[in-house]
Amino acid sequence: MFEIPSFDVIGADGLGRQSATTAHAMAVFKGQLYLATGSAVARNARQAPRIMRYDAAGQRWVEVYGSPMVAACARAAVPDRQLAAALGETLSAPGRNAGSGLGSEVPRDTGYASMVVFQGASDPEPALYVSTMSRGGALILRSTDGATFEPVGEPGFGSPEIFSFRTLTAYKGRLYAVPAGTVTDEYLDRFVAPAADVYVTDDPAGGVWRKAAEPGFGDPLNLSVNTLCAANGRLYAGTHNPALGFQVWTTEATGEAPFTWTRVIDEGASRFQRNLVVTAMAEFDGALYVGGGLNGPGTDPVHDIGPAACELIRVWPDGRWDLVVGEPRFSPQGLKVPASMTGPGFDDFFNAAIVSLCVHEGALYLGTHQWEAFQAIENGAGEVVGGAQLWRSVDGETWEIVLEDGNGNPADVAYPALASTPFGLAVGTQNQSLLLRLAGRDRKDTTFPAGLSVLIGV
């Protein structure tokens, strides 16, 4: 019998910096928990993102790395393409790119997207590698002691339009990375990369990366590769495809890059655009679990897709796939009925995406992005409700809710970071209190606790 853990809050209010809105990633390194934070607004040193380490004995968080300050340039103030589309504005709308509040220097980074412990060819011991979110081009940071971090390689691997690298993934002695987001002198798009590439190296400290696949796996409709996961002796990749829905590809990565890849899912698992992008993947009980959905608050405003709720797919090593959570439908593999007997979003329309999957103590955990609070404000509801959900399954089919309604804070709209640690299951939040306050500026009940939080299952 598995008991559902209770959760304690081990960090709140952005860990002392309310501008820290998102826990993007976590990793256990040398027996300690590390957290990669992100800032919605990073205009000055007080708003700079940080890498934090949890001191379990002292029950406190310690900053181990903060973004350095650099000279402000044109890209420091370019408008966010996704946000502008959501607000119905053009990229040149007055005030969106004016650089309000910018000084002569700004933080180089706006956040840290991914973490992995990996020992490369020239590493004397396993090191902690972290990818940055940087308007001057993404970097890979390396630390051998958890206290000193240094960049390795060129910004964007030579392409400074790459905003970040997502899902650093170790597989067969190599490290893989996928570009995430595009930054130019005109705009920032946090979701769509300049090219749908996968990069690989056996020596990240050396800074030399090669392409592991042809762009988009040969399909120009794949705008980005969004997720990587090693499962069942293979490497899997999930794409972002607004034309026909996400795809899932796999390789055994034999020989030299680029490798031979095989497609196992296309057309959003026969749900098409409503399964726009693969948002999370994890191996559990002999299968690959694939979370899909939409990146934005229920919609993709740039491509005019949605609203739609998320789905969970299970992929077997032989390429067969099951619908676990989602909408019954016919597919090239026949009729698909959800094994959990629950519809899209776990029967919650506002669960737009499965943003994290993690195995901990024999159970699979799943975190959602839930946007009901925004709809409540738009509808003029009497009470602002909603918030992220955490689900748990011991067999992949029977699911029970562990946390809901943002653990009491509707502004905690997502659980993007999950990590199995010696202390318990760690859960990191995304907090959108500022956007909710702006959306509900005519209301008196939209002031919610600000900044990311971290919880631990006990």
Domain ranges of the chain: 7-457
For 260, counting Cβ atoms within 10 Å of its Cβ (0-12 exposed, 13-18 middle, 19+ buried), the class is: exposed
Residue indicated by tokens 């897709």: 305
Residue type, 3: E
Predicted pLDDT at 92: 59
Low-confidence ranges of the chain (pLDDT < 70): 1-3, 90-101
The DSSP 8-state label assigned to residue 100 in this structure reads: T
Helix (H) or strand (E) holding 375: helix 372-378
pTM to 2 decimal places: 0.96
448 within 8 A of 410, measured Cβ to Cβ:
yes
CA-wise closest residue to 450 among 6, 19, 10: 19
373 within 8 A of 411, measured Cβ to Cβ:
yes
pLDDT digits (tens, 9 = 90+) for 8-56: 999 999 999 999 999 999 999 999 999 999 998 899 999 999 999 999 9
| 7-457 is classed CATH 2.130.10.10 | yes
Predicted pLDDT at 295: 85
Predicted pLDDT at 101: 63
3-state secondary structure of 387: coil
Rounded Cα distance between 18 and 15, Å, is 7
453 within 8 A of 20, measured Cβ to Cβ:
no
Distances from the Cα of 77 to the Cα of 43, 99, 103, 200, 269, angstroms:
9, 5, 11, 31, 38
Predicted pLDDT at 408: 97
